[in-house]
């Protein structure tokens, strides 16, 4: 069948169609059909004005047919000019048929309504465009139901993948995304695990509302660090993760700098500044790599995070070969320390603090010690850092305090015992309560105890920590500032905290023959005497150092020159020998 024949047939059909519409009998039949069909029927002329609209239009869109006849669609409806309307308009402008085209308009009640229309062009016998005949139906209810279902689906999906507090992706989404990235192998990325430093103390001291505020602020900080293509997730509690889509070799250093520049912040709590910091561990995945799975990346980043916390917190550590080589040994060390602390297998040694006027011991400092099962002693700085990173410092500190209290009950009553307190032990009032219980049950007097803290406690400027130290002082204990001069050495510490003893770090004694160093020490001594604070010189190892500290009028001294740290049993033997002499 030729194309010419088909074109001629179409022209005949359209001509017959228009002729039928103009035929009274045919038109009467059309109107009868329009009455019974569920859709409304409409006809337009060549100027796109409605010449007929069936009464059913009122059932659909509450408009009278007579209000539409003689007007164009654009004159009848405040149509929404979206892609659907533009598509329909383009078909009509080209005099083409259309089927099930949707468009919407804004009603007088400012609600959006939706219709679906179909139309076929009408033509005169000579082929000229004569208008359209078509049908329409309202689909507002259907569209609204679909939108409600879509909105509900989006909301359910959001709830399933989003943390309700921070608005970040949650653990389930993180696990899925990390595995998908590793399995695809098409993108290089860096995985970062992080948590807030000493978050438990923030919660316990200031309440969960402040804790939640800290989490939300930290989440916002992490989002500011990430780019639009990266993923920031809250894993639970104060644990967060970042998936940063960048080359781990070239992007890690810049990312670490950006983190340290933006992640830490201050919060105003009860007119006080609370410093919030975090530690970060990272590991990278190289595009196309088949050697690392998601579990390995998490394990590596988590170990790097642990090292960041053990190394002083507030820093970023990247997993590397050096960490990997020492990982097994350190994990074994952690497990063994956990077991030792749980079973009270750590011990305390005691070092004398000597009154330089009388030459007698005025206090004994209790120093935590730990020896591994194979007999290897572990340096205090190493295992104490592990205890802090593993949240074991409260238990270790309490064990050392209990041994110091036992020592106080055993030695001469004129000698006090001194215990070092970690910042992690202060702020929630628990240690103060333990101290009160111990002195009540053992009949020991509070003035027999010194409690030493380092300068980092001062610079946290934590009101709850200050409150705990003040309560210890009010009970009668001595509160001492340890290692003065090893850090920032601010007068703020001495002014605002209840210190009655300052322990000068051994660094003050390294170069006392230098005029400038002597001038600094002399100024510190003058300041301490003016404030009524006694001073202890740490690290005395020879007669010359002893002579110099006496020359400056320092009250007390401590060091190997007098006594190395020894077990309590050895100290008691020395005490008995001196009494017998």
| Contact status, residue 425 vs residue 456, Cβ threshold 8 Å | no
Q: Are 244 and 190 in contact (CB under 8 A)?
A: yes
φ/ψ (deg, to 5) at 148: -65, -45
Between the alpha carbon of residue 427 and those of residues 15, 321, 466, 468, the distances in Å are: 93, 38, 8, 6
How many whole angstroms separate alpha carbon 416 and alpha carbon 434?
18
Cα separation, 6 vs 15, in Å, equals: 14
Q: What is the distance between the terminal CA atoms of the chain, rounded to a whole angstrom?
A: 134
**Hey, is 448 helix, strand or coil?**
helix
d(CA 23, CA 15): 12
Q: Which helix (H) or strand (E) element contains residue 116?
A: strand 112-123
Active site residue 283: no
Choosing from 238, 394, 462, 482, the catalytic residue is 238
- Rounded to the nearest 10 degrees, the angle between the axes of helix 208-225 and helix 199-206 is 140
HSE-CB for 472 with a 13 A CA cutoff: 31
Vertex 489, ends 486 and 495: CA angle to 5°?
145
Identify the CA nearest to 243 among candidates 301, 296, 197, 161.
301
Half-sphere exposure in the Cβ direction for 386 (13 Å, CA)? 19
Q: What is the dihedral of CA 19, 21, 25, 31, to 10 degrees?
A: 170
Rounded Cα distance between 288 and 183, Å, is 9
> Which sequence positions are flagged as catalytic?
238
């Amino acid at each position: 069948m030729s194309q010419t024949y088909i074109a001629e047939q179409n022209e005949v059909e359209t001509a017959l169609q228009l002729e039928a519409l103009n035929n009274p009998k045919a038109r009467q039949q059309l109107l009868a059909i329009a009455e019974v069909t569920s859709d409304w029927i409409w006809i337009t002329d060549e100027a796109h004005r409605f010449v007929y609209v069936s009464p059913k239009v009122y059932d659909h869109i509450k408009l009278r047919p007579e209000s539409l006849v003689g007007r164009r669609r654009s004159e009848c409806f405040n149509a929404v000019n979206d892609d659907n309307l533009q598509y329909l308009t383009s078909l009509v402008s080209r005099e083409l048929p259309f089927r099930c085209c949707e468009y919407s308009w804004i009603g007088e009640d400012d609600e959006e309504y939706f219709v679906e229309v179909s139309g076929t062009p009408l033509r005169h016998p000579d082929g000229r465009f004569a208008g359209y005949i078509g049908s329409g139906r309202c689909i507002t209810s259907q569209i609204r139901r679909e939108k409600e279902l879509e909105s509900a689906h989006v909301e359910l999906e959001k709830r399933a993948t989003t943390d309700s507090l921070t608005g970040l992706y949650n653990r389930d989404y993180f696990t899925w995304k990390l595995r998908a990235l590793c399995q695809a192998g098409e993108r290089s990325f860096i995985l970062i695990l992080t948590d807030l430093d000493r978050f438990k103390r923030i919660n316990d001291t200031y309440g969960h509302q402040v804790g939640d505020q800290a989490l939300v602020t930290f989440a916002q900080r992490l989002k500011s660090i990430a780019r639009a293509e990266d993923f920031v997730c809250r894993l639970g509690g104060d644990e967060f993760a970042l998936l940063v889509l960048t080359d781990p070799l070239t992007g890690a250093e810049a990312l670490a700098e950006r983190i340290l520049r933006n992640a830490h912040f201050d919060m105003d709590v009860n007119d006080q500044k609370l410093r919030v910091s975090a530690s970060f561990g990272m590991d990278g995945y190289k595009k196309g790599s088949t050697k690392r799975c998601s579990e390995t990346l998490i394990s590596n980043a988590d170990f790097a995070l642990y090292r960041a916390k053990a190394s002083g917190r507030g820093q970023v550590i990247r997993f590397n070969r050096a960490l990997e080589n020492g990982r097994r040994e350190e994990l074994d060390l952690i497990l063994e320390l956990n077991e030792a602390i749980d079973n009270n297998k750590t011990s305390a040694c005691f070092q004398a603090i000597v009154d330089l006027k009388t030459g007698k011991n005025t206090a004994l400092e209790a120093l935590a010690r730990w020896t591994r099962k194979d007999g290897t002693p572990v340096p205090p700085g190493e295992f104490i850092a592990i205890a802090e990173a593993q949240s074991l410092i409260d238990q270790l500190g309490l064990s050392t305090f209990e041994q110091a209290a036992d020592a106080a009950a055993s030695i001469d009553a004129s000698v006090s015992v001194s215990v070092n307190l970690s910042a992690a032990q202060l702020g929630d009032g628990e240690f103060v309560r333990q101290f009160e219980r111990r002195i009540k049950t053992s009949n020991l007097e509070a003035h027999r105890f010194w409690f030493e803290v380092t300068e980092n406690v001062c610079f946290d400027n934590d009101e709850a920590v200050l409150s705990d130290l003040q309560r210890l002082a009010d009970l009668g204990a001595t509160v001492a500032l340890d290692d003065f001069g090893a850090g920032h050495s601010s007068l703020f510490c001495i002014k605002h905290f209840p210190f009655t003893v300052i322990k000068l770090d051994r660094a003050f004694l390294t170069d006392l023959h230098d005029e400038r160093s002597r001038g600094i020490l002399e100024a510190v001594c003058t300041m301490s005497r003016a404030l009524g604070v006694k001073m202890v010189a740490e690290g005395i190892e020879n007669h010359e150092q002893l002579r110099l500290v006496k020359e400056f009028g320092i009250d007390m001294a401590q060091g190997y020159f007098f006594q190395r740290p020894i077990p309590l049993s050895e100290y008691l033997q020395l005490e008995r020998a001196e009494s017998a002499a």
